[in-house]
Amino acid sequence: MNRDEITGLYDDAYAATYDQEFLLAPLVKSDTDAELALLRKLLVPGTSWLDVACGTGFFLRHFPHVERAGIDLSPAMLRRARDGNENVPLFQRDFRDPFPEWNDRWGLTSCMWYAYGLVDTIGDMLKLIANLWAWTAPTGTCFVPLADPRLITGVNLPYQAPTHNSGKVMITGIMWSYVEDDGRKVHSHMLAPNIEFMVEQFEQYFQKVEVVRYPPAFEGWVGRPAILASGKKAR
C-alpha cells in the first residue's frame, strides 16, 4: 500500500463522486442501507466509534450524536469527510501503524467497504486486524465488511483444495484489480482472502466471530458478507 498511489487514486475529483458511485448507486444502495442498519444496532447510547479508512465520512455523517472519530490515508477523502462531520476528530494515518493511545478505547471499530484489500501482503492485513483488536474496547465490537472472492470471481473457490499427498492446499484468497470505465483509475492488485481465512484470523483476537450477510441486492444474488467480532481476548 503505497501512500503516493493511494493519494493519487483517491484525489479530490474521485472523492467528490465516491458516495454516489460506490454507496448510493442502485447496484450498491441496498448494501449501504444494510450497513447503516447494522451500525444503528451496534451504536447503542454511550458507545464510542472509530471508523478506520473512513473515506468521505459518509457513515460517520449519519450518527451526529455518537462520539466518533475516523482515520484515512487520503487527504482528499478526509477533506470531504469534514463536511457534515464538524468537530469530529479525523486523522491522516496508515491503518497498519499501531496507535497505543487508542488501545481499548472504542466501543465499536469498523473498516468499511474493502479498504483492507489495498494492502500489499497478507502480513500487512494481519497488522490491520491486530490494530482493530487493540483499539476495540474489552466489551466492544469490531465490524468489517468482507470482499468475498466467490462473489468477485463468480467461482465457488474452496478454502482447502483436494490434493493427492499428505499435505494441505489452502486457497488463502485472490488478488484482483478494479479498472474504472475510462481506464484512468485502477485499484491495482488488491487482496481478497477467503471468508474462512478472515474468520480464523479474527478468532485469534475475539471469542465470538460471526459472519452476517446483507439482503441480496437483486433476486438470485447472494448477499455480501461482513464480520462482527466481539468478546475481545487478552493477548
pLDDT of residue 219: 85
Asked if residue 161 is part of any domain, the answer here is no
C-alpha cell at 20: 454516489
Give a yes or no: residue 189 inside a domain.
no
Domain membership of residue 60 as a residue range: 3-146+194-232
Report pLDDT for 97.
97
Q: Is residue 48 part of a domain?
A: yes
Place of cell 480464523: 200
Residue numbers of the chain with a pLDDT score lower than 70: 1
In a domain, 52, yes or no: yes
pLDDT at residue 182 in the model: 79
Closest CA to 106 of 77, 143, 65: 143
Which residues, in sequence order, are CB contacts of 133 under 8 Å at separation 6+? Answer: 142, 205, 206, 232, 233, 235
Q: What is the pLDDT of residue 145?
A: 97
Report the domain count for the chain: 1
- Alpha carbon distance 235, 230 (integer Å): 15
Structural domain contains residue 169: no
Q: Give the per-residue pLDDT at 1.
A: 62
CA 83, 86, 88, 94 torsion-angle sign: positive
**Is residue 99, in this structure, part of any structural domain at all?**
yes
The CATH number given to whatever domain includes residue 105 is 3.40.50.150
CA-nearest of 24, 91, 25, 36 to 63 is 36
Residue 178 lies in a domain: no
Q: Please report whether residue 156 resides in a domain.
A: no
C-alpha 162/C-alpha 190 separation (Å) is 26
Tell me which residue has cell 448494501: 31
CA 185/CA 76 separation, integer angstroms: 15
